[in-house]
Amino acid sequence: MSTVTENKFLSEEEKTTLSTIQQKTQSLIVELGEISLNEINLKTRKAEAETFLNTVAEEEKTFTTKVFEKYGKCNINPETGEITVVG
């Protein structure tokens, strides 16, 4: 004897609910992907900024060394270029 099974289907409301959940899930996946890409871009920008900071710090150190060698220990007004020798 074979058993006949009756196929069952979701109601229209249940199908609509399922479809809505699937759409929300897809939107969430896209959003999380975009957030991850932004995090990667921010990490890259931060690394580049840190490298630039090191470059600027090295330029400042080199400049200060040259100025101190030429004028001795001094303070400099960056707006006017005035040098005040320190004691």
Give this prediction's pTM: 0.64
Alpha-carbon distance of 9 to 36, in angstroms, equals 38
63, two tokens: 């400049």
Helices (H), the chain: 12-71
pLDDT tens, 5-44?
Answer: 899 999 999 999 999 999 999 999 999 999 999 999 999 9
